[in-house]
Structure 1
Amino acid sequence: MASGIGLTTPLFHPFLFLFQVLQWLADKIFSPTPPGPSTHLTRPKIAIIGTGITGVTAAAHCIGHGFDVIIFEAGDKHGVGGIWSKVNNTSALQIHSLMYRFHPSVKWNGGYPDRQQIISQVRQLWKRYGLDTRTKFNTRVNEVYPDEKGRWIINNTSNGRFEGVIAAVGTCGDPKMIRIEGMDKFKKPICHSSNLSGVEAKNKSMIIVGGGASAVEALEYASQEGASKIYILSRSDKWIIPRNWVVDMLFSLNIWGQETALSVIPEKLLRTFFYRDLEEIAPAGKGLFVDTPMVNSDVMDKLRSGEAEWIRCDIERFTDTGVLVNKRDRGVPKGGPGRHIMIEGDIVVMATGYKRPSLDFLPKECFNEPYGPPNWYLQTFPPQHPSISAINCTYLSAIGTVGNWHIGIYTRILLMFLVDPLTRPSTFWMERWIDMTKVLKATAPTGAFDFFTYLELLWWFFFCIAINPFRWKWAFFVFFGLGFALPRQLVIAEDQVRNGVGTQRSDQGSRDIGASF
């Protein structure tokens, strides 16, 4: 696995040193101070659902700024870390760790940390902010509903009452294992891509069903284990981009967040300088800014060497020795005409992804059309309830920095809404923002919230603060988490919340004071 910065090459040691200095400075400047064991947290109480990276990070931001939290986790303590607690030991970041600093206190040892280091950082963060004493394990959230004062109840009143809710269940739940005709006839192992640790692949041929990020991860595992041949059976074409943080960051700076006339430039550059002789597997008629690309450079080397073979096809059925597929030419859509060929192998890996966790526990009005997820305010706030934020749960596709500082920004926007009624948007204006965003992206090949870039996301945040003068005083707090930037009016607003004034159910109150976007 590439280190990204080069721990063994002296030439690159100065860059590693600079990387560590930047991480140290970010921690000192931007990390909120963890509360002491006897600290009395008097600000509104937040319920957080999920102990993945988003849940733990959001909880650390909340408690670091004096807001008490309770985290609800459906599984046991081994689930801390979310999807990273379930993947293979050989799994590692496909993007540079500069783009995966999910909290200012995170410290990476190199460019592409592996699963063990990621889990370690999440659990250190969890303990550093005392979240281990504020987590309820084996507590599946089935219902979130308001009491008579508008405070949120999680399942039942025995769990307490909360002014705000952060849903952090993510987009990857249990492994998705699809059934294909004839699977019971295949005489050799069939496993899911998330359960490869310990699978013996040396000198064996491996068939990988799927062409997404899970397939690339399985490809890397098979290569490391010394597989003799690797077949990737991909039903559709996805863009692959270099594993280079400069290139990846440049792609995320598309401020329009969609395909434009200028998109042909990076697409042409990718085909010419990255795909080169493998240009045939590049998507035909599908733009780069339409779907989440795969980030990997090694896959190209493995394809060129013959170690792996990428086959665009529809799977017909399994046989006792392999998989019968309908191989299609470039540009032929799924289910189109092709040529039947037999792919024989010793192991089949189902790289079919994960089931998306349900948000059904949220109030049913959060799903009223046409403002159901992902068509929410800033994509995470249901228009009926600005005191609920489903961070990283409704996202479909994007080019961005994945687990970067947006988690903190989303969390602090929620905190701002909770303690300062003058900043809280009404349902009417939240819906107008959604409508406006749809109009601005009306020409996009995807829906308004189906795909975005990181710069577009930052523009959403900027617009959210700039449009309402009552939010200006919160800008440094929202964007950078600087505690000294908390407005003086915070104490007044907290008293209002504790007295039941301007709680999350008070949409009429927001309209009365002229709340806008």
Structure 2
Amino acid sequence: MGSCKNQEVEQAKCAWVQGPIIVGAGPSGLAVAACLSEHGVPSVILERSDCIASLWQYRTYDRLKLHLPKHFCQLPLMGFPENFPKYPTKYQFISYMESYASHFSIQPRFNQTVQSAKFDSSSGFWTVQSQDFEYISRWIIVATGENAEPVIPKISGMDKFHGPVIHTSVYKSGSDYKNKRVLVIGCGNSGMEVSLDLCRHNALPHMVARNTVHVLPREMFGFSTFGLAMALLKWIPLRLVDKFLLLVSNFILGNTDQLGIRRPKSGPLELKNATGKTPVLDVGALSQIRSGKIKVTEGVKEITRNGAKFMDGQEKEFDHIILATGYKSNVPTWLKDCDFFAKNGMPKMPFPNGWNGENGLYTVGFTRRGLLGTSSDAIKIARDIADQWRTAKDCRNYCNSHMFVLKNS
């Protein structure tokens, strides 16, 4: 910490941060910064990209809409505009987050890729190192989320394929795939929606459904399926709610096993709680599967130069391959000597206790419960830090008089 003092700060490029350092300027980072500001606690957000919500701005396809009604997806202290539809589009959600940041005067430090963050037990402070700057604080809030990096599976022969292979993180629209044969690997929400988008642009999608997955209607009886499930859980045990959801889903959607999409043995909510695996909310893909416009295949054995060999012995030719294989946390690559996170980059403590670590470490956006979980964590974190903030005046006064203090929030 001595290198940060007074006139040496410009050469050292090191700053003491009043309040916590927040890593990530997505919805989670913005939510916790807003909640902190309501308590009068400043913070500094470090963001590797050049904008807020970079996953939404750069890594989502054009037709994306929120899968849940907007009241389940709003951040703390500020709801969506009343004129927004029930399921806002990607662009409406981005505009909401930009308005949110502006309303709470949140100004992240962009193009700051955190390379390491480490707690110094001798001083009691966190040191966070970006590519060109060092930040020091009593608190660090990990807000990089569950979806920081694309998952790229290792499939035999992938390097031999003659055509383009992309992840859904760079897919924008099916307009470039007209009359093209496209292999979509993955049958989650992204795989289903990309296949549907391809279909609507007259492409010829084949979707690989290697794993089991629950597909539920987005709405039941005019209500959001998610909202209905949340309401029932207040009165009925989870397993009974699962049975209800599956009964109604089979009535509305039919038996998905007959379409090549096998359901897991565990119910959708039970599976979500245990593994974080989200059910697919159908927005039209199943009808295209029934009509034969989206072909479903069981699993890829090997990629060939011109296509793929499948587990059932068939071989087909394709022009493009799209990996709808999801995302993962990147926390283990930069958070050093920390036992709070598992190897998969998720907190070891399950919800609702995974937000609070040791030595001033907090996490937001790792609940596997979407933006509702994010809001809950952000509120708890802000209260906890605010309680400490009010008792730390002496430390702050010392730092203000002896160090270069970074005050922007």
Pick from 215, 238, 241 the counterpart of residue 240 of structure 1: 215
Of 337, 348, 351, the match for 1:374: 348
Q: Equivalent residue for 1:293? A: 279
Instruction: Write out aligned runs for 1:241-260 (5 A).
Output: 241-244=216-219, 245-253=223-231, 254=233, 260=239
Partner of 1:409: 376
2:405 corresponding residue in structure 1: none
Question: Which position in structure 1 is the counterpart of 2:100?
Answer: 125
Paired residues of 2:239 and 2:267 also in contact (CA < 8 A): no
Distance 1:368 1:66, change over 3 A: closer
State the one-letter code of the partner of 1:310.
V
1:319-353 Cα deviation digits (max 9, x unpaired) = 23321111xxxxxxxxxxxx311233332211122
CA contact (8 A) 2:150 2:167 kept: yes
Which residue in the other structure is 2:400 paired with? none
Which consecutive residues of structure 1, in runs of 5 or more, have no partner in the other structure?
Answer: 1-42, 327-338, 422-492, 502-517
> What is the letter of the counterpart of residue 393 of structure 2?
R
Once residues 105 and 264 of structure 1 are traced to their aligned partners in structure 2, the CA distance between those partners, rounded to angstroms, is: 33
Matched residue, 1:174:
149
| Paired letter, 1:135 | R
SS of the aligned residue for 1:324 comes to strand
CA separation in 2, counterparts of 1:117 and 1:379? 32
* TM-score, normalization by structure 1: 0.62
Contact 2:160 2:304 in 1 (8 A): yes
Q: How high is the TM-score relative to the length of structure 2?
A: 0.77
Paired residues for 1:118-157 under 5 Å? 118-132=93-107, 134-146=108-120, 150-155=124-129
* SS of equivalent residue, structure 1 residue 219: helix
Partner of 2:313: 340
Where 2:86 maps in the other structure, the secondary structure is coil
Per-residue deviation, residues 412-441 of structure 1 (Å, max 9, x unmatched) = 3223323436xxxxxxxxxxxxxxxxxxxx
Question: How far did residue 176 of structure 1 move?
Answer: 2.5
- How far 1:283 sits from its partner (Å)? 0.8
Local SS of the residue matching 2:330 = coil
- List per-residue Cα deviations over 1:170-214 (Å, max 9, x = no partner): 111232223322223333332222222366211222211111122
Quick one: distance in 2 between partners of 1:255 and 1:310? 37
Superposition pairs for residues 88-487 of structure 1, below 5 Å? Answer: 88-103=61-76, 104-107=78-81, 109-132=84-107, 134-146=108-120, 150-155=124-129, 159=134, 161-197=136-172, 200-227=176-203, 229-244=204-219, 245-253=223-231, 254=233, 260=239, 263-276=242-255, 281-289=261-269, 290-291=271-272, 292-311=278-297, 313-326=298-311, 339-359=312-332, 361-362=334-335, 364-367=337-340, 373-375=347-349, 378-385=352-359, 387-393=360-366, 395=367, 397=368, 400=369, 402-404=370-372, 406-420=373-387
Per-residue CA shift, 1:135-156, capped at 9, x if unaligned? 2532415113247563433339
Q: Structure 2 regions of 5+ residues with no counterpart?
A: 1-16, 273-277, 397-409
Deviation of 1:109 after TM superposition, in Å, equals 1.7
1:12 corresponds in structure 2 to: none
Distance 1:368 1:117 in 2: 33
One-letter identity of the residue aligned with 2:224? V
Secondary structure at 2:42 match in 1: strand
- Which amino acid letter does the alignment assign opposite residue 227 of structure 2? M
| Cα deviation, residue 83, structure 1 | 1.7
When residues 87 and 153 of structure 1 are mapped into structure 2, their CA distance, relative to the original with a 3 A threshold, is same
Which of 84, 92, 97 is the matching residue for 2:56? 84
Q: Is the 8 A contact 1:145 1:362 kept in 2?
A: no
Question: How many residues get paired?
Answer: 362
Q: Look up the equivalent residue of 2:229 and give its one-letter code.
A: F
- Aligned-residue CA RMSD in angstroms? 3.3
1:44 Cα deviation after fit: 6.5
Q: 2:148–2:329: 8 Å Cα contact kept in structure 1?
A: yes
Distance 1:418 1:192, change over 3 A: closer
- 2:53 maps to a residue whose letter is G
Q: One-letter code of the match for 2:293?
A: E
Using the TM superposition, give the Cα deviation of residue 222 of structure 1 relative to its aligned residue in structure 2, in angstroms.
0.5
Q: Sequence identity, in percent?
A: 18
List aligned pairs for 1:53-68, cutoff 5 A: 53-68=27-42
Instruction: Kindly provide the amino acid, as one letter, of the partner of residue 63 in structure 2.
Output: T
